[in-house]
Structure 1
Amino acid sequence: MESLEGWLASRGQGHDPLAEQHRWALLPPGKLLRPVLLMESAAAVGGSIEQVRPVATGFELMHAGSLIHDDIIDGDEVRRGREATHCRYGVDRAVVGADALFFAVFATLGECRRRGVPDRLIADATAVIAEAGLRITRGATLELDLSGTLHDDTDAYLEVARLKTAALLRAACRTGAVLAGATAEQTAALTEFGEALGIAFQIRDDLLPYGRERRPGTRTETAAAGKPRTSDLRNGRPVLPLLLAHRYGDDAERALLAELLGAGQERSGERSGERATVRAYASQEAGADEESRQERLHQLLERTGALKAAQHTADTHLDRCREALEALPPSSHRQRLAALAARCHSRRQAGDEGAGR
């Protein structure tokens, strides 16, 4: 938090025209998961937290930039309980501001160098961060390609999660290890931990709109992830619970899923092996709003066992996290990394009714 304030203060001193917008996007902060992962990873292999703190802040800047882009693409107007950045400042300025946040992470590496991190490690970390940016863009494009389709290709979903979401967590852990001068084995272990954690966190976020605390008839507009709970429904995003409902549901349940997603097959005579694209079609409840459809979707996901199956998938990746940490020496920092992974269990929010059929 102090590091974010310091970075914002330095922007303001230079009369940066994006300073106000960046303050809006960054404060109040989110969970600060990526900065924490980077610092704990460095410390877990004997590195100095103070030396890597600047680039830890840089990872939060990069994350905030990706959220601005996501909100523009998804058309979401709310982020963390208030206006999304592009709604407050306009799409043009939001795009430019988000791009600035992506580049800013590299400037923070310069501060790490001034704090004593050797040049060769700075160069290695630069490559890690650049690769993460490329992974994020590939994942976002793949997600767009898959959006609006009814299918049960969980492998494609996991690839999107690995690239779009897990890339930055993976890079945070790997950057911490690299800047701390970790061994190849330790660096590989922390990289594996970050990637598995990122996939598990993406699945958990997919489950947030279906939390136990929600009751039919209530109208909470924003999920704990900070965006409207109906966002994935409205945009036809290929989130894991929907894919699993399509896999485990019977014909009637699949038809209902298509109705709730406002989807139908665009054409029946397409080339063999080409996935059918999905077009909007009239629902039997033409006047039903998104919240009503979201509640019916929730019931369907419980009935098919999709929610429990999705959580089980997350748990398999959390097992990868625990195994990866075994390569690190015992320490309070390793324990804190393990605790971050355990949050996916302790904050489990999906219903447990039924198993995937």
Structure 2
Amino acid sequence: MLDAQGNPEPFAPSRIPSEKRPLRVVESRQTARHSLESWLDSRNEDSLAEQHRWALAPPGKLLRPVLLLESALALGGSADQVAPLAAGFELMHVGSLMHDDIIDGDELRRGRAANHSRYGVDRTVVAADALFFAVFQTLGECRLRGVPDRLITDVTAVVAEAGLDITRGATMELDLSGVLHPDTGTYLELVRLKTAALLRAACRSGGVLADGSPEHVAALADFGESLGVAFQIKDDLLPYTAPPGTAGKPPTSDLRNRRPALPLLLAHRHGDDAQRALLTELLTGEGEEELRQERLHRLLETTGALKAAQDTANRRLERCRKALEALPHSPHRSRLAALADHFSSREQIR
């Protein structure tokens, strides 16, 4: 929500009546929201504070913080001790989105002006960079709350590795933009680096901060990576499945930037010569983007690419469920499983 001057209001509590809220991740999301608001309040005197509030409020579904919290709790960790890093993962994620919007030339984010549209590219680059460093500040707060130094050191390496993977994946995406080929293995490696890295690191960090066994931490990392791949495939499908205005970014963004989205690669693989020629024409041709997007949607349906992409996501989600079998039974393991189930159904996480 915005105030009368068009600035983001402080994080508001959910307007869904408590008796109607699903029990799965409400508590973890509230913890993450509180931790994010505390971080923002602590930076009120910072020259970047306004930009950060614009980027972070209102928050999204806070998937990465929730994954970290539930992973830690699943192995007996303390929500209070790990909550600062849960917020840190959202800071890191939002920083990457700010960079993505500049690279992609997207003027909107979550239905309103992207940061670079409101504050300019130069200032947005600086503000996004600050969010990448802030995650390490939140690790320091975890130490002050009692997390042992050896675990802080281990998680620092996990976070740094994820940051490097994100940049490698983003570079790979730029290299592959505009390239149509039937090799989905390259696409999956790109997604593993650019999108899944942060989800994998969130789950792994939660397990490490809870001082989990190597087997349990590895299972959480496998769960997070598989969920991240499925998440990106679902994101690739949003321009063709989400109601107008709900995808978080313009529905023509991938078309305009010729990103290597999985449905496009699958249409190239499964289509005949005429369909591949039409696909190339739609991606490289001129004309109104909305009309080209409509024609592309019909082509992806005709070639079976949309269904094939969903099937690929579902296979990754099955791997998520398998990974969780290594964890001890608990409500938190069940909540992680529910997060995976969301991506194979139309049910909304609240």
Superposed, 1:118-137 pairs within 5 Å as: 118-137=148-167
Deviation at 1:4, TM superposition (A): 1.3
Superposed, 1:98-137 pairs within 5 Å as: 98-137=128-167
Deviations, residues 73-98 of structure 1 (Å, cap 9, x unaligned): 00000000000001100000000000
- Matched residue, 2:37: 5
- The question of 1:332 aligning with 2:331 is answered yes
Distance, in Å, in 1 between the alignment partners of 2:251 and 2:266 is 19
Distance, in Å, in 1 between the alignment partners of 2:148 and 2:182 is 47
Distance, in Å, in 1 between the alignment partners of 2:139 and 2:126 is 21
Deviation at 1:150, TM superposition (A): 1.8
Structure 2 CA distance for partners of 1:17 and 1:181, relative to 1, 3 Å:
same
Q: Which runs of 5+ in 1 are unaligned?
A: 214-219, 263-282, 350-357
Letter in 2 for 1:148: G
- Matched residue, 1:354: none
Structure 2 CA distance for partners of 1:133 and 1:235, relative to 1, 3 Å:
same
Letter in 2 for 1:31: K
Distance, in Å, in 2 between the alignment partners of 1:180 and 1:132 is 19
Percent identical:
73
Structure 2 CA distance for partners of 1:348 and 1:239, relative to 1, 3 Å:
farther
Deviation at 1:347, TM superposition (A): 2.9
Deviation at 1:348, TM superposition (A): 8.5
| 1:204–1:348 CA contact under 8 A, matched in 2 | no
| 1:41–1:173 CA contact under 8 A, matched in 2 | yes
Q: Residue 249 of structure 1: which of 262, 271, 275 is its match?
A: 271
| 1:209–1:223 CA contact under 8 A, matched in 2 | no
Distance, in Å, in 2 between the alignment partners of 1:348 and 1:227 is 21
Letter in 2 for 1:21: Q
- Matched residue, 1:27: 57
- The question of 1:44 aligning with 2:74 is answered yes
TM superposition score normalised by structure 2: 0.89
Distance, in Å, in 2 between the alignment partners of 1:192 and 1:149 is 29
Greater C-alpha Rg: 1
Deviations, residues 98-120 of structure 1 (Å, cap 9, x unaligned): 00000000000111111110000
Letter in 2 for 1:177: G
Give the total of aligned pairs: 316
| 1:77–1:87 CA contact under 8 A, matched in 2 | yes
Runs of 4+ aligned residues of structure 1 deviating over 3 Å after TM superposition are none
State the secondary structure of the residue aligned to 1:170: helix
Deviation at 1:2, TM superposition (A): 1.6
- Matched residue, 2:289: 290
- The question of 1:177 aligning with 2:207 is answered yes
Letter in 2 for 1:334: R
Distance, in Å, in 2 between the alignment partners of 1:253 and 1:347 is 30
Distance, in Å, in 1 between the alignment partners of 2:143 and 2:197 is 24
Letter in 1 for 2:330: S
| 1:223–1:229 CA contact under 8 A, matched in 2 | no
Distance, in Å, in 2 between the alignment partners of 1:322 and 1:39 is 18
**CA root-mean-square deviation:** 1.2
Deviations, residues 139-179 of structure 1 (Å, cap 9, x unaligned): 00000000011212211110111000000000000000000
TM superposition score normalised by structure 1: 0.87
Deviation at 1:223, TM superposition (A): 4.4
Structure 2 CA distance for partners of 1:136 and 1:212, relative to 1, 3 Å:
closer
- Matched residue, 1:273: none
- The question of 1:311 aligning with 2:310 is answered yes
- Matched residue, 1:236: 258
- The question of 1:320 aligning with 2:350 is answered no
Structure 2 CA distance for partners of 1:5 and 1:83, relative to 1, 3 Å:
same
Distance, in Å, in 2 between the alignment partners of 1:347 and 1:236 is 28
Distance, in Å, in 1 between the alignment partners of 2:216 and 2:338 is 19
- The question of 1:95 aligning with 2:125 is answered yes
Structure 2 CA distance for partners of 1:227 and 1:297, relative to 1, 3 Å:
same
Q: Which runs of 5+ in 2 are unaligned?
A: 1-32
